[in-house]
Amino acid sequence: MVITKKKSVDRRTTPIRLFITKTSRSLLKGTLAGLLATASLAVASTADHSEFKVLQGTFATGPDVTKACLECHTEAAAQVQKSIHWNWKIDPAKDSREPGKDNIINNFCMAVRTNEARCTSCHAGYGWKDDKFDFTKQENVDCLVCHDTSGEYSKFPTMAGHPNYTPKEWPPKSGKIREPVDLAKVARSVGESSRDNCGSCHFYGGGGDSVKHGDMDSTLSKPSFGLDVHMDADGLNMTCQDCHTTVDHITAGSRITMNARDMNGIDVPGHEFGGRATCESCHDSDPHKDGPAPLLNKHVAKVACQTCHIPEFARDKKTKVAWDWSTAGKSKETLKDEEGNITYSPKKGDFTWQKKVPPEYAWFNGKMNYTLIGDKTEKNAEGVVELVKLEGSAADSGSRIWPFKVMRSVTPRDPETGQMIVPHLFGKDDAAFWKSYDWQKAAAAGMKAVDQPFSGKVEFTKTTYLFPITHMVAPADQALDCVACHNRDNSRMAGIGGIYLPGRDHSEWLDRIGMLLVLMSILAGIGHGLLRYTRRTKGGQL
Amino acid sequence: MRQELIFTRFERFWHWAQMLIIFALLLTGFEIHGSYQLVGFNKAVMVHNICAWSLLTLWVLAIFWSATTGQWKHYLPTSNQMGDVIRFYLFGIFNGEHHPYRRKRWAKHNPLQRLTYLLLKLVLMPMIWGSGLFYMFYSVWMGQGAHPALPWVANIHVAGAWLMLTFLVAHVYIITTGPTVGEHMMSLLTGYGEVYDDEDEKKLEN
Ligand code: HEM
């Protein structure tokens, strides 16, 4: 975790805490940016955690720190235990078919199950190393990963969410030693979550910086105005929670529960509080004020703000756009590109990285149908398994055109059952793929662990996985130009059906007939004129 | 036969303003249509919208003017001499004949002109501004989902644009068929043109 702030100050940077009544709504509309800018003052907390008695002395483990936190914050762990950060799905019921990190199959490391100890280094808890983890134990909640302001706390990559308590080598066989975290010091410097707290997991999704989302990576730690107008470190400097408003440790906004078209407009605190995770929450649904504002505002009903205002993602750092697992284990040599991104890893196969990626677009009503463990999959006409299927259409009022990062991978599938394989990748046992590089064994172990049938056959299939793009909002003058979509030959909306788009669409036959009519009248004029000219000697009228 | 004011100041203003606006509408309209890229899509849309409103305003003014001055009577269709005029443009004009129509103060357009301008005013222009208004206010009638009628509205508008362009080409050519190439055009600039005496004039004026 890279944290630059020194003091444990509670930052109160947002309009969340500004008392805004419904009557001042119109004022808010026009001047939100101004309010935000002036509200960007660090307000000191009324509590200095370094003074607290329970936090003096030393702590042996993370859970020991949590116990101390809970002495005063008696409800905190219970709140966290209701959150998606804890349960990794919206509905924590054990057999729930609601999607979550816990049961979704993606095309990065495919699935969490049987690989917990590695994956849960990004769990807001301690000790989730297999399916026997106790989700009710309060001291298992990790307060520090979200609330450390010293920048010194970090979880060890393979210890099921614990930081290392003794010196340990990482990466393996690198000779580099990670010193244990000074838990006491970290415990005494807790405060409100910063971008880096969230970023310690969310920037590194998929196992590394900028791998997964494309619109979230470490460049958002201190972004420029050009990269992100909201989080601009020298400007608004907004934190994640300024939009992902968090109440009782429940965070608003998630790609699992998307709101593709917010009809609520501005969410005024104290009146219509439902979280501020949509653009409309602050900008309202007629956000454009200058230039051809009425025309632009008409787009709001059908086009997500992000579609024009995030013309490219991964603008400062490459993101992974393709991952071929079929080549994993075939060579022993790790390859890197000129920026140091791994392009081949013996454990993971081939990667493709891309910077300044233009998103792909689709109608979207907020519902993403994920492939869950146990789901049978089908290949589409191109032989690709779409792991995420979007809902939405032009005809539906709740749908808008949204931008997506499309991840294109080659991942293992059982050709007999049609299920995507949940491979057992991580572990010290012989079946783990990263131990013995045997897909058959890894698949058998993984599928058995999740109680799913396995035919014994593994095929490698092209798969796609989707992320809605919503971060890295570009400065207004860099928003997509009209002609990027309103043109015939390379419209960004080329694949968007169900609407008539001026400039992109036209009737070929109508234009042909029209052209013919015009041509005929030109020819008639020329013919008539020539005849008049050649016979003008006859006298009279021309 | 005498020279007389046949196009008043308002008519001349109306005609040339309309010409400029329609030219701009065609230019920007076909850019919006995707036929070419010239001033940029956003500017094209803005200019097109401004011109569209200007044209509508102009039409309202012209309709008011025609109604109050009685000038609308110039557009009443008639079959009288229609055959002569058509025959003239198809044959007579090449044989040095004179135009068969004698312009009168209260019938300044020949029967072919009357019909053409009437069709223009009653069919083509309503087709264009009707579809244009529907197009402009699509968000009002399309409801929440995309409406399948939008491509039809657009196509009617585009069809109107093609017809308008066709008319313009023919119109500009026919302008040159006066006694001299420039005469018709000059009378729309100066307002003066040749007029014959009309026995029915008194009756028409009542
Ligand atoms: C001589 C007059 C006019 C011509 C030649 C003309 C031509 C065109 C053409 C070719 C298009 C592109 C259509 C497409 O590809 O979908 C267009 C678009 C349009 N026109 Fe016109 N037009 C004229 C007058 C008007 C008027 C009077 C209105 C409104 C009352 C109007 C409103 C529109 C609108 C709203 C669009 C769509 C612009 C957009 O994409 O937002 N037009 N016009």
Inform me whether the pLDDT recorded for A525 exceeds 70. Answer: yes
Q: Which of B42, B169, B176 sits opposite A482 (nearest CB)?
A: B42
Give the pLDDT confidence score for residue A5 in this predicted structure. Answer: 38
User: How far is Cα A422 from Cα A106, in angstroms, rounded to an integer?
Assistant: 10
Using an 8 Å Cβ cutoff, are B174 and B110 in contact?
Answer: no
Residue identified by tokens 């370094």 is A50
Using an 8 Å Cβ cutoff, are A117 and A160 in contact?
Answer: yes
Using an 8 Å Cβ cutoff, are B156 and B127 in contact?
Answer: yes
Segment B83-123, tens digit of pLDDT: 999 999 999 888 888 888 888 877 889 999 999 999 999 99
- Show the domains of chain B with their CATH numbers: 2-205 (1.20.950.20)
Q: Which of A507, A521, A540 sits opposite B166 (nearest CB)?
A: A521
CB pair distance less than 8 Å for B177 and A542: yes
Nearest CA in chain B to A395: B145
Residue identified by tokens 């049978």 is A376
> b/e per residue, A212-232, with b = 16+ CB within 10 A?
bbbbbbbbbbbbbeebbbbbb
CB pair distance less than 8 Å for A396 and B145: yes
Using an 8 Å Cβ cutoff, are A301 and A472 in contact?
Answer: no
Give the pLDDT confidence score for residue A33 in this predicted structure. Answer: 45
Give the pLDDT confidence score for residue A94 in this predicted structure. Answer: 72
Closest CA of chain B from A542, distance in Å: 7
**Angle B125-136/B41-69 helices, nearest 10 degrees?**
130
Q: Work out the average pLDDT over B5-29.
A: 96
Using an 8 Å Cβ cutoff, are A412 and A421 in contact?
Answer: yes
> b/e per residue, B186-205, with b = 16+ CB within 10 A?
ebbeeeebebeeeeeeeeee
Segment A452-494, tens digit of pLDDT: 999 999 999 999 999 999 999 999 999 999 999 999 999 999 9
Nearest CA in chain B to A481: B42
Segment A97-127, tens digit of pLDDT: 889 888 999 999 999 999 888 899 999 999 9
Give the pLDDT confidence score for residue A535 in this predicted structure. Answer: 82
At position A68, the amino acid (one-letter code) is: A
User: How far is Cα A193 from Cα A329, in angstroms, rounded to an integer?
Assistant: 40
Using an 8 Å Cβ cutoff, are A227 and A220 in contact?
Answer: yes
Contacts of A435 (CB under 8 A, 6+ apart): A427, A428, A429
Give the pLDDT confidence score for residue A9 in this predicted structure. Answer: 36
Mutate to test the interface with B, among A397, A487, A500 (most CBs of B within 10 A): A500
CB pair distance less than 8 Å for B45 and A292: yes
Inform me whether the pLDDT recorded for A269 exceeds 90. Answer: no
Weakest mean pLDDT among B25-34, B57-66, B98-107 = B98-107
User: How far is Cα A254 from Cα A101, in angstroms, rounded to an integer?
Assistant: 12
Segment A194-243, tens digit of pLDDT: 999 999 999 999 989 999 999 999 999 999 999 999 999 999 999 999 99
Q: Which ranges of A406-481 does DSSP label H, i.e. alpha helix?
A: 433-436, 439-449
User: How far is Cα B201 from Cα B70, in angstroms, rounded to an integer?
Assistant: 13
The DSSP code for B122 is I
CB-ligand 1 contact for B55 (6 Å cutoff): yes
Inform me whether the pLDDT recorded for A26 exceeds 50. Answer: no
Contacts with A539 from chain B: Cβ below 8 Å = 96
Among the listed residues A404, A89, A372, the one whose alpha carbon sits nearest the alpha carbon of residue A256:
A89
Inform me whether the pLDDT recorded for B31 exceeds 80. Answer: yes
Give the pLDDT confidence score for residue B196 in this predicted structure. Answer: 84
Inform me whether the pLDDT recorded for A8 exceeds 60. Answer: no
Nearest CA in chain B to A293: B46
Give the pLDDT confidence score for residue A89 in this predicted structure. Answer: 85
Best residue for ligand 1 mutational test, from B23, B32, B127 (most atoms within 8 Å of Cβ): B32
Q: How confident is the model at residue B203 (pLDDT cuts 50, 70, 90)?
A: low
Give the pLDDT confidence score for residue B171 in this predicted structure. Answer: 96
Using an 8 Å Cβ cutoff, are A89 and A193 in contact?
Answer: no
User: How far is Cα A45 from Cα A204, in angstroms, rounded to an integer?
Assistant: 30
Inform me whether the pLDDT recorded for B8 exceeds 60. Answer: yes
User: How far is Cα A393 from Cα B145, in angstroms, rounded to an integer?
Assistant: 8
User: Which residues lie across from A462 on neighbouring strands?
Assistant: A384, A410
Q: How confident is the model at residue A35 (pLDDT cuts 50, 70, 90)?
A: very low
Mutate to test the interface with B, among A521, A522, A532 (most CBs of B within 10 A): A521
User: How far is Cα B80 from Cα A511, in angstroms, rounded to an integer?
Assistant: 37
Give the pLDDT confidence score for residue A59 in this predicted structure. Answer: 95
Q: Which two tokens stand for residue A433?
A: 């793929």
Higher pLDDT, B2 or B121: B121
Give the pLDDT confidence score for residue A272 in this predicted structure. Answer: 64
Q: Work out the average pLDDT over A341-361.
A: 97
Q: Which pTM does this prediction carry?
A: 0.89
Contacts of A281 (CB under 8 A, 6+ apart): A243, A262, A264, A266, A267, A275
Q: How confident is the model at residue A41 (pLDDT cuts 50, 70, 90)?
A: very low
Give the pLDDT confidence score for residue B201 in this predicted structure. Answer: 54
User: How far is Cα B107 from Cα A419, in angstroms, rounded to an integer?
Assistant: 84
**Cα of A509 to ligand 1 centre, how many Å?**
19
Segment A240-267, tens digit of pLDDT: 999 999 999 999 999 988 999 998 888 8
Best residue for ligand 1 mutational test, from B33, B128, B139, B141 (most atoms within 8 Å of Cβ): B128
Residue identified by tokens 């796609």 is A464
CB pair distance less than 8 Å for A532 and B94: yes
Q: Which of B42, B151, B176 sits opposite A500 (nearest CB)?
A: B151
Cis peptide before A311 (omega within 30 of 0): no
Q: Give the Cα-Cα-Cα angle A327, A329, A335 (nearest 5 degrees).
A: 75
User: How far is Cα A303 from Cα A291, in angstroms, rounded to an integer?
Assistant: 18
At position A147, the amino acid (one-letter code) is: H
How many other C-beta atoms can be found within 10 angstroms of the C-beta atom of residue A478? 16
Q: Which of A488, A505, A514 sits opposite B162 (nearest CB)?
A: A514
Which H or E element spans position A77? helix A76-80
Inform me whether the pLDDT recorded for A19 exceeds 90. Answer: no
Give the pLDDT confidence score for residue A292 in this predicted structure. Answer: 86
Cβ within 8 Å of B, A 513-532: 513-515, 517-518, 520-522, 524-525, 528-529, 531-532
Q: Which atom of ligand 1 is nearest to the CA of B55?
A: 27
| B182 in contact with A, Cβ within 8 Å | no
Nearest CA in chain A to B33: A503
Nearest CA in chain B to A299: B139
Q: Which atom of ligand 1 is nearest to the CA of A506?
A: 15
* Residue A177 backbone dihedrals phi, psi, to 5 degrees: -110, 130
CB-ligand 1 contact for B107 (6 Å cutoff): no
Q: Which ranges of chain B does DSSP label H, i.e. alpha helix?
A: 9-32, 41-69, 82-90, 111-119, 125-136, 138-141, 150-175, 183-190, 201-205
Give the pLDDT confidence score for residue A273 in this predicted structure. Answer: 63
Q: What is the largest CA-CA distance in chain A?
A: 119
Q: Which ranges of A113-265 does DSSP label H, i.e. alpha helix?
A: 116-119, 144-147, 183-187, 195-202, 240-243
**Cα of B157 to ligand 1 centre, how many Å?**
6
What percent of chain A is predicted at pLDDT more than 70?
90
User: How far is Cα A464 from Cα A473, in angstroms, rounded to an integer?
Assistant: 24
Residue-averaged pLDDT of chain B: 90
Q: How confident is the model at residue A275 (pLDDT cuts 50, 70, 90)?
A: confident
Strands A335-336 and A342-345: what pairing?
antiparallel
Residue-averaged pLDDT of chain A: 89
* Residue A445 backbone dihedrals phi, psi, to 5 degrees: -65, -45
Using an 8 Å Cβ cutoff, are A316 and A231 in contact?
Answer: no
Give the pLDDT confidence score for residue A15 in this predicted structure. Answer: 40
Among the listed residues A27, A41, A469, A470, the one whose alpha carbon sits nearest the alpha carbon of residue A266:
A27
Inform me whether the pLDDT recorded for A166 exceeds 70. Answer: yes
Which H or E element spans position A76? helix A76-80
| A395 in contact with B, Cβ within 8 Å | yes
CB pair distance less than 8 Å for B42 and A525: no
CB-ligand 1 contact for B75 (6 Å cutoff): no
Give the pLDDT confidence score for residue A42 in this predicted structure. Answer: 57
Inform me whether the pLDDT recorded for B200 exceeds 70. Answer: no
How many other C-beta atoms can be found within 10 angstroms of the C-beta atom of residue B129? 18
What percent of chain A is predicted at pLDDT more than 90?
78
CB-ligand 1 contact for B19 (6 Å cutoff): no
Inform me whether the pLDDT recorded for A14 exceeds 70. Answer: no
